[in-house]
Structure 1
Amino acid sequence: MNKLRNKITYRYFGFVCVLLSFSACVAPSNIVDKKANKKVPERFKNSQDSTNTAKSKWKDYFTDPFLSALIDTALHNNQELNITLQEIEISKNEISARKGEYLPFVNIGGGTGIDKVSRYTSQGASDEISQIREGKSTPSVLPNTYLGAFASWEVDIWHKLRNARKVAVYNYLASIEGKNFLVTNLVAEIATSYYELMALDNQLDIVRQNIVILNNALAIIKLEKEAAKVTELPVRRFEAEVFKTQSLQYAIQQKIIETENRINFLVGRFPQPVLRNSQHFNSLTPAKINAGIPSQLLENRPDIKQAELQLEAAKLNVSVAKANFYPSLNISASLGLKAFNPIYLANLPLSLMSSLAGDLAGPLINKNAITATYNNANAKQIQAIYNFEKTILNAYIEVINQLSNIDNLEKNYIMKNNQVQALTQSTEISLKLFKSARADYMEVLLTQRDVLEAKMELVETRMMQMNVLVNTYRSLGGGWN
């Protein structure tokens, strides 16, 4: 009767295992059928030259020693960059953590306690029968002391744990590319702020020179009034213009302070003067940019490489989520000493204990949670695909805009320079005509105002020219190496 019962039990257990394995192995098929589009146009503005400025190091691209010193200091002290470096370290540690998950866990420990077994359990009934047969009394309360090693291991049948480690590796590599992209933007931001600071210095000099010219003109107008050649009106108008230009001087001085402190913040230091030489700013010659070919953006731009690595991680996350539908195999084992009295622990091999067990378990009913996790992994993979394509498109458009801006700003600077020269000559002419009473004072005033605005715009155009070179270098993927 017992043999028949055991036979039925084994068959029932085998049937449950087969049913469990079959039901657990039924996983949904991959939802994502979209592939990332890496295609880009063949050239920038009909240029087939593969020479690329982004390949040059920032130390070779920015030759100003003061600017190079600022960038070098920022790469060591910038707080946001240092925070990113710690994020990279966290990602690196995550790889070690994931690697440890698919290796056996072995713990050494021991303990002591007291057990009281109920007589209405299988062990209690067995002890009772033993007492009756052997005539010996078994204490109802027994101490328990053990010391040994305990191991557990999830066998990575479906490579779920190994894929999770690969995801951590891709995330680690993506964090490095994120750091590189931050360095690129940091270098570009310091350079643009530095050129803006030099432009403000030149604008401040122009304003101060204009104040001197206006004061000289004001002195002439006052002499003309004393000679009864003009009224009080032109005197007041010129005085107002002097006050207006002086207020502009203070506004520029405030902008200089703010720009210096923006650079100091990026460099990671408290406010202090920024060393620079602004005297030859207008004579700076914009460097020649070699854009190369668009396909090089996939190699040079850190944000594109970061998006691509994140896409690979998202693909593997789908495999990890899919493996949750399959049964998992866990093995546990122990080896040590155990006795109801610590004195007997050394009584080998009677005190020796050992165990070895394996269990196979998988989801059978109510798979809502793992199905939702799998669907989310697929959705995130689609997001990563679109983000990768968006990053490529954004990079290409940035380069196209900057290259067009280089040409237009060069033509704009030539026209502005011609305007300044013409207005400078007209200022001298208007002042001579005014002295000879052949021109109205308003002509002198308006001409002087126009030449001030034109000189300010000329300096600003030069600043924009230098900044567009910085932005083009950044857009091509330069600055991080």
Structure 2
Amino acid sequence: MKKKTSSNRFVRWGLWAIAFLPSACTLPPQFVPSAENRNVPATFPAVAQDTLTTAKVAWKKFFTDQNLLVLIDTALRNNQEVNILLQEINITQNEIRARKGEYLPFVSINAGAGVDKVGKYTRSGAVEENLEIAPETKFPEPLPDYMLGAFASWEVDIWSKLHNAKRSSLLRYLATVEGRNFMITQLVSEIANSYYELMALDNQLDILRKNIEIQTNALEIVRLEKKAARVTELAVKKFEAEVLKNQSRQYDIMQQIIEIENRINFLTGRFPHPIQRSSQTFNDLVPDTVYAGIPSQLLYNRPDIRQSELELEAAKVDVKVAKANFYPSIRLTAGVGFQAFNPSYLFTTPQSLIYSLGGELIAPLVNRNAIKANYYSANSRQIQAVYDYQQTILTAYIEVVNQLSNIANLRRSFDLKTKQVAALTESINISTYLFKSARADYMEVLMTQRDALESKFELIDTKKQQMNAMVNFYRALGGGWR
């Protein structure tokens, strides 16, 4: 094995020394990425250093709502984007097969037949005329030609150009697989967020309808107060307008529900269809405890980071392939078969036997602009890949930090809004009682009802944001594709 390696090395040095050393020595410098590209902070802010991470939890265990699990499972089977990426994976896999075949010998079988009529006063015609000794040995005119043989060609991969091209295709295939995994994390989180938004809208619609009922009762009270000459027609119209406004508002929410339902249907790859859900339990949902782990785990758990890393490795190999184009290449050709002007003589040996063996040494010597341009472009793409890799890591880290802060702040906000809703709900009864006893005017009742309704809407919206923050944090860690 050592002898073979040594002989290949001498062949390379020999080829360099013969004619191409001067031109190859002028190659432009190659960009080498820094090893610091993988450096990330040791911990996340305000989080204890612990390697336990929620990213490793499968989505079937992370989510507990059975209706949501069915939707995610349906989307993973039917979503068009996922299926398109599956075909992209097949394409890159076929590219590997094609690259692998390039550094193996190409063998083909050729069979042919034809006739050839040459002029008598041409070189070939004169040769045939002089070779005619007797009528029985006269060349047929026109001259038939029959051939059957096998021919092979092989480019000797001295500089590993073909091998590196195959390795680049393999890396891009793996990057495509990671791209599909990243697409799955996005799809899982989008369906979950849309599902929780749908449940929030259901609850807001239910609250609005209950509030309309309360306001309708208050309107009847105001009308009675007007008959008793305790309020004017202005109060009646104000309450009536508030009822009509909220009755109209419920149709806006209903439209939003339709659109979110169809958004989920689109993600699951089906036409408009009712979405099964248990919205009554939305207020009782408690975001699961999630664990951030340590930042370095993002390098292995986030598919987009792994995809970017593989793209960077492929770009490095592409530079080697582009650089190898400056060096000489060797191509060997060989063939063996049978050829005769009469089919009965076709397999007569050795008279009809033909064979060939040859080799070529080819290298660019003058006007290498195209090769240089390709090399410079490959180098620039490698630099792009380095920056893309760095940006992907930075984006992932910031996403996790943002969601950590978001979860903590939403928890505090929800607790305060819960107390606000309780206070405003109680104030509705108080304001109504005071209005009946003429100790508060109708505007106080009206404003109290408005504030209570908005606070309940905000509480539902905060709950939705809490659930979305949990889902987004799970996605930011790299969870959802397992």
d(CA) in 2 for partners of 1:44, 1:346: 79
Instruction: Name the residue aligned to 1:315.
Output: 316
Instruction: Name the residue aligned to 1:259.
Output: 260
Instruction: Name the residue aligned to 2:399.
Output: 398
Q: State the secondary structure of the residue aligned to 2:226.
A: helix
> Is residue 182–residue 304 contact of structure 2 (8 Å, CA) maintained in 1?
yes
1:361 aligns with 2:397: no
d(CA) in 2 for partners of 1:324, 1:116: 44
> Is residue 423–residue 447 contact of structure 1 (8 Å, CA) maintained in 2?
yes
Tell me the amino acid that sits aligned with residue 28 of structure 1. L
Which moved further from structure 2: 188-197 or 22-31? 22-31
1:295 aligns with 2:305: no
1:38 aligns with 2:45: no
CA displacement, residues 42-95 of structure 1 (integer Å, 9 cap, x when unaligned): 001242111101111111110111111111111111111011011111111111
Which moved further from structure 2: 175-184 or 324-333? 324-333
Instruction: Name the residue aligned to 1:11.
Output: none
Cα displacement (A) at 1:29:
4.3
Instruction: Name the residue aligned to 2:143.
Output: 142
d(CA) in 1 for partners of 2:17, 2:30: 27
d(CA) in 1 for partners of 2:358, 2:122: 23
1:446 aligns with 2:447: yes
Tell me the amino acid that sits aligned with residue 49 of structure 1. D
CA displacement, residues 193-235 of structure 1 (integer Å, 9 cap, x when unaligned): 0000000010001100000000000000111111122111111
d(CA) in 2 for partners of 1:344, 1:278: 88
d(CA) in 1 for partners of 2:376, 2:152: 34
Tell me the number of residue pairs that the alignment of Structure 1 and Structure 2 aligns: 466
Tell me the amino acid that sits aligned with residue 243 of structure 1. L
Q: How do residues 161-176 of structure 1 correspond to structure 2 at under 5 angstroms?
A: 161-176=162-177
Cα displacement (A) at 1:121:
7.3
Q: State the secondary structure of the residue aligned to 1:281.
A: helix
Alpha-carbon spacing, 1:122–1:371, altered in 2? closer, same or farther (3 Å):
farther
d(CA) in 2 for partners of 1:374, 1:421: 69
Alpha-carbon spacing, 1:458–1:172, altered in 2? closer, same or farther (3 Å):
same
d(CA) in 1 for partners of 2:118, 2:75: 70
TM-score, normalized by length of structure 1? 0.93
> Is residue 329–residue 360 contact of structure 1 (8 Å, CA) maintained in 2?
yes
> Is residue 55–residue 478 contact of structure 1 (8 Å, CA) maintained in 2?
yes
Instruction: Name the residue aligned to 1:204.
Output: 205
Alpha-carbon spacing, 1:137–1:22, altered in 2? closer, same or farther (3 Å):
farther
Q: What is the root-mean-square deviation in Å for CA atoms of aligned residues?
A: 2.2
Instruction: Name the residue aligned to 1:226.
Output: 227
CA displacement, residues 405-453 of structure 1 (integer Å, 9 cap, x when unaligned): 0111111111111111111111111100000011100000011001000
Cα displacement (A) at 1:303:
0.1
Instruction: Name the residue aligned to 2:351.
Output: 350
Cα displacement (A) at 1:358:
0.8
> Is residue 26–residue 325 contact of structure 1 (8 Å, CA) maintained in 2?
no
Q: State the secondary structure of the residue aligned to 1:347.
A: coil
CA displacement, residues 303-345 of structure 1 (integer Å, 9 cap, x when unaligned): 0000000000000000111111111111111111101222211
Cα displacement (A) at 1:389:
0.3
Q: How do residues 68-87 of structure 1 correspond to structure 2 at under 5 angstroms?
A: 68-87=69-88
Instruction: Name the residue aligned to 1:407.
Output: 408
Instruction: Name the residue aligned to 1:61.
Output: 62
Q: State the secondary structure of the residue aligned to 1:416.
A: helix
> Is residue 153–residue 330 contact of structure 1 (8 Å, CA) maintained in 2?
yes
Cα displacement (A) at 1:41:
0.5
> Is residue 74–residue 266 contact of structure 1 (8 Å, CA) maintained in 2?
yes
Q: State the secondary structure of the residue aligned to 1:349.
A: coil
Tell me the amino acid that sits aligned with residue 377 of structure 1. A
Structure 1 stretches of 5 or more lacking a match? Answer: 1-15
Q: State the secondary structure of the residue aligned to 1:260.
A: helix
TM-score, normalized by length of structure 2? 0.92
Structure 2 stretches of 5 or more lacking a match? Answer: 1-14
Alpha-carbon spacing, 1:124–1:355, altered in 2? closer, same or farther (3 Å):
farther
> Is residue 331–residue 359 contact of structure 1 (8 Å, CA) maintained in 2?
yes
Tell me the amino acid that sits aligned with residue 246 of structure 1. Q
Instruction: Name the residue aligned to 1:272.
Output: 273
> Is residue 25–residue 327 contact of structure 1 (8 Å, CA) maintained in 2?
no
